Amino acid sequence: MSEGFQQKFFDHVDKNQALYIERLAEAVGIPSISSDLENHLGDVNQMIDWTKAHIDRLGGKTNLVVNPLNSDKITYPPILLGEFHVDPKKKTVCVYGHLDVQPAEKDDGWDTEPFTLVEKDGKLYGRGSTDDKGPALSWLWIVEAHQALGVDLPLNIKIMYEGMEEYGSEGLFETIRDEGKPGQFLDDVDFFCISDNYWVGKTKPCLTYGLRGLAYFQVGVKGCEQDLHSGNHGGGIHEAMTDLVRLMATLVDTNGKILVDGVMDSVKPLTPEEEALYESIDFNVESYKEENGVKNVSDKLLYDNKKDLLMHRWRYPTLSIHGIEGAFSGKGAKTVIPAGVKGKFSLRLVPDQDPKQIEKCVKAHLETEFAKLQSPNKLEIELIHGAVAWLSDPKHPNYQAAARAVEKVYGCEPDYTREGGSIPITSAIEEATGMNVLLLPIGACDDMAHSQNEKYNISNMMNGIKVLGVYLHELGKIQGPKPSDCKCIPLTQEELMVPGAFLRGFKCKCEM
């Protein structure tokens, strides 16, 4: 981006702040809750159509890919593919985002209606504002700005937006595999960029090169035929709920130690180099406590120093217990014996942990523990979502382009961080295409994604649009052949360890 254009671009973005807020308000107003398709499939589809209409308006090509998992029983939203094509000789970046959101109700403890965007003190409150509608839509406003200023895009932009991310990206893995084949949509993509995570702090931008994976389980205990009165029948039967809470309690101790045999076996030992990475990260334990809603009644976290806290959030697996389906959960007292209950828990996985292997360990553990109860009830264990962890190389030119963009907008170098959360398709994209994926977060650590009062700072939104816009131009400056043109065999693990060898197409075998 030339200095002159950069200033014009920044001015354009600044002038359009009110318009961006208005559009985000429209998007947040569509309750596109993917975990409740029975009630919200129409909304998820509407959100996808709304976005498609913007791409169409801007002259992009669009295609709604029918969800490959559709069946007689269930219909999923389509996947929205879009394209702003400039020149076949130019490189291509594909941006991914999700247009679906987590459920939210005012009664959950929101101060305002979750599906009405409310501006207060420079912050935009609403479900999906930061996760992920705000960041995902930025790309469209960047294309619009280029058109308004009469400047060509520096490279081709492809867009892949889905509506099922919060429910495990149903159908997207198959679509990525198909679209990654020769001649298909993803085949000529050289770089990927995803803005669907957050800074580690409130003020300093970062680039993220690692995510944890996920193994989400449901463990059901089926007891009697129907719910019963505990006064009538308590004392006569083996209660499903009693079995289940005992089982769930054997999974993890109160200090977060996972008690399932075999789960820690594949966790990489810490090297001094990796340990050193944590020292320089701009993260303060005290402000983390204050600003993220994590404060405990006793003000005590599991770890009180930066390094251990970050490592346990990013590079070690964890096991969290989420809930029990079928159990009484309302206010007050209900003297019921639930007939059958399903416990929900998940493990966040780290590199080298295979969800299938973890499933084996978890099943063996629960079956052994259940046998100890000598209960006549029926046990059923199911892995609902499985995703491997992901780790990239921050020295890749894709990351370096983003780092330069951050410097131009924020005037500082970004931190390089990993994340505890999961974006399961990240590894799938890499596997299907062999191209590098950059995570470029825009939102701040206290945005409260998935929680009450989710928000997006106006300053993060505005600077985010600027960073992503400048990033495009920095990518456009990268010299050399298109990484996607490289047809040579992938580098081996050892070859990948050689500094600089990570980028197929830049230092690949066909150039040696």
Catalytic residues: 100, 165
Residue 177 binding: pick among ligand BES, Zn ion, none (C-beta 5-8 Å cut-off by kind): none
User: Which CB sits closer to Zn ion, 165 or 188?
Assistant: 165
Who contacts 89 (Cβ-Cβ below 8 Å, separation ≥6)?
A: none
Q: Which amino acid is at 333?
A: A
The residue with its CB nearest to ligand BES is 421
DSSP string computed for 145-167: HHHHHT---SSEEEEEEES-GGG
Residue 385 engages ligand BES in binding (rule: CB under 6 A) = yes
Residue among 43, 188, 196, 419 that touches Zn ion (CB under 5 A)? 196
**Contact region with ligand BES (CB under 6 A), list: 227-235, 286-294, 297-305, 416-424:** 416-424
Q: Which of 420, 438, 431 is nearest to 208 (CA)?
A: 438
The distance of closest approach from Cβ of residue 332 to ligand BES in the complex, given in angstroms and rounded to an integer, is 31
423 interacts with ligand BES by CB under 6 A: yes
Report the residue from 48, 80, 214, 277 that binds ligand BES according to the rule CB under 6 A: 214
Tally Cβ neighbours within 10 Å of residue 218. Answer: 16
Question: Which of Zn ion, ligand BES, none is residue 421 near (CB under 5 to 8 Å by kind)?
Answer: ligand BES
Q: How far is the CB of 393 from Zn ion (least distance, A)?
A: 23
How far apart CA 493 and CA 505 sit, in angstroms, is 17
Shortest distance in whole angstroms from residue 450 CB to Zn ion: 8
With CB under 5 to 8 Å by kind, the binding choice for 156 among Zn ion, ligand BES, none is none
Q: Is 243 in the site for ligand BES (CB under 6 A)?
A: no
Binding pattern to ligand BES, positions 435-474, x when CB under 6 A?
A: --------------xx------------------------
Interface with ligand BES (CB under 6 A), residue from 377, 422, 436, 453: 422
**Residue 454 binding Zn ion, by CB under 5 A:** no
Query: What stretch of H or E contains 48?
Result: helix 37-57
Instruction: Check binding of 340 to ligand BES (CB under 6 A).
Output: no
Q: Which is nearer to Zn ion, 30 or 219 (CB)?
A: 30
- If you count DSSP H runs as helices and E runs as strands, how many of each does the chain have, helices first? 15, 18
Rounded distance, CA 394 to CA 512, Å? 23
Q: Binding marks (x or -) toward ligand BES, 162..191, rule CB under 6 A?
A: ---xx-x-----------------------
Smallest separation, CB 62 to Zn ion (Å)? 22
What is the distance between the alpha carbons of residues 436 and 498, in angstroms, rounded to a whole number? Answer: 16
Closest distance to Zn ion from the beta carbon of 136 (Å): 9
Say which DSSP state 268 is in.
P
DSSP state of 35: G
Among 418, 456, 466, 406, smallest CA distance to 122 is for 456
- Per-residue CA distances from 385 to 36, 274, 349, 428, 436 (Å): 16, 29, 12, 14, 24
CB-based contacts of 152: which residues, under 8 Å, 6+ apart? 86, 146
Q: Which helix (H) or strand (E) holds 125?
A: strand 123-125
**Residue 34 φ/ψ region, left for φ over 0, alpha for ψ in the -120 to 50 degree band, beta for the rest:** alpha
Residue numbers 118-147 binding ligand BES by CB under 6 A: 131-132
Q: Which is nearer to Zn ion, 132 or 243 (CB)?
A: 132
- Comparing CB distances to ligand BES, the nearer of 133 and 404 is 133
Helix (H) or strand (E) holding 47: helix 37-57
Question: In whole angstroms, how close is the CB of 197 to ligand BES at the nearest point?
Answer: 4
Binding residue for ligand BES, selected from 205, 394, 424, 464, defined by CB under 6 A = 424
Size of the site for Zn ion (CB under 5 A): 3
Q: Would you say 424 or 469 has its CB closer to ligand BES?
A: 424
Q: Assess 131 for contact with Zn ion (CB under 5 A).
A: yes
Tokens of 446: 């206290």
Helix %, strand %, coil % of the chain (to 5): 40, 20, 40
- Minimum distance, C-beta of residue 184 to Zn ion, in the bound complex (Å): 25
Residue corresponding to tokens 């400056």: 477
Is 29 a binder of ligand BES (CB under 6 A)? no
Q: What is Dmax (Cα atoms) for the chain?
A: 81
Place of tokens 């217990």: 321
CB of 348 to ligand BES, least distance (A): 8
DSSP state letter for 131 = I
**Which residue lies nearer to ligand BES by CB, 117 or 428?**
428
- Looking at the Cβ atoms of 23 and 127, the one nearer to Zn ion is 127
Pick the closest to residue 50 from 62, 68, 67 (CA basis): 62
The footprint of ligand BES (CB under 6 A) covers: 131-132, 165-166, 168, 196-197, 214, 385, 387, 419, 421-424, 449-450
Binding site for Zn ion (CB under 5 A): 131-132, 196
